[in-house]
């Protein structure tokens, strides 16, 4: 079965930035996603299209195909008096900030000054070139519910669901 829109795909990957490994999936816990809905980075999704179980490849995504350029304008100074738990903040911490309309954003605490806290709202990987080494571990049809929801349902805590999927996976390997 080839990867196409409407398939639930599981992959193992190693993510490298500037020659340094910064993330990898656990060997027994691949990442599962619904193909074709933008659940993963578009560049990675395009590279996976048409691949099948056992295929492996490496892809390098420049910032424009990943998390965008680093934007100096996305750095903001917030008055300490506007931050309820300001005493708990430390440089490097990731915090969630809600705007007046109730939208929440994550930001990294860049600096703590006398009266203000400097927050960096850029995604942590903004401005970075990402290299993914990918192995395709599974491809299956999405369920009606998954298509409706627009994401894969892979609750690894629910044994029943996992057993069903594992059987399917073995079947498709036998057929190959």
Of 10 and 16, the one with the shorter C-beta distance to Zn ion is 10
Q: What is the DSSP letter of 142?
A: P
Binding to Zn ion (CB under 5 A) within 120-149 occurs at: 149
CB of 58 to Zn ion, least distance (A): 31
Q: Which is nearer to Zn ion, 38 or 124 (CB)?
A: 38
In 3-state terms, what secondary structure has residue 171?
Answer: helix
CA 36 – CA 151 distance, rounded (Å): 10
Q: Which of 45, 44, 37, 50 is nearest to 2 (CA)?
A: 50
Residue 149 beta carbon to Zn ion: minimum distance, rounded to whole angstroms:
3
Q: Considering beta carbons, is residue 105 or 162 the nearer one to Zn ion?
A: 162
In the complex, the smallest distance separating the C-beta of residue 8 from Zn ion, rounded to whole angstroms, is 12
CA distance 64 to 44: 13
DSSP run (H or E) holding 147: helix 144-149
How far from the centroid of its chain's Cα atoms is residue 125's Cα? 11
Site for Zn ion in 144-173 (CB under 5 A): 149
39 versus 76: smaller Cβ distance to Zn ion: 39
Please state the closest distance from residue 171 (CB atom) to Zn ion, in A. 24
- Name the site residues for Zn ion (rule: CB under 5 A): 149
């Amino acid at each position: 079965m080839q990867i196409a829109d409407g398939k639930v795909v599981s992959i193992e990957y190693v993510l490298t930035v500037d020659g340094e490994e910064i993330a990898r999936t656990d060997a027994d816990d691949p990442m599962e996603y619904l193909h074709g809905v933008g659940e993963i980075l578009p560049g990675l999704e395009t590279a996976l299209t048409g691949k099948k179980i056992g295929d492996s490849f490496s892809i390098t995504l420049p910032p424009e195909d990943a998390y965008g350029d680093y934007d100096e304008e996305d750095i903001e100074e917030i008055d300490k008096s506007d931050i309820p738990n300001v005493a708990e903040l430390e440089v490097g911490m990731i915090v969630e900030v809600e705007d007046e309309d109730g939208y929440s954003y994550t930001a990294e605490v860049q600096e703590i000054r006398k009266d203000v806290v400097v927050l960096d709202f850029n995604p942590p990987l903004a401005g970075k070139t990402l290299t993914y080494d990918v192995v395709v571990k599974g491809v299956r049809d999405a369920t009606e519910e998954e298509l409706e929801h627009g994401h894969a349902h892979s609750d690894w805590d629910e044994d029943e669901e996992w057993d069903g999927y594992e059987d399917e996976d073995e079947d498709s390997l036998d057929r190959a």
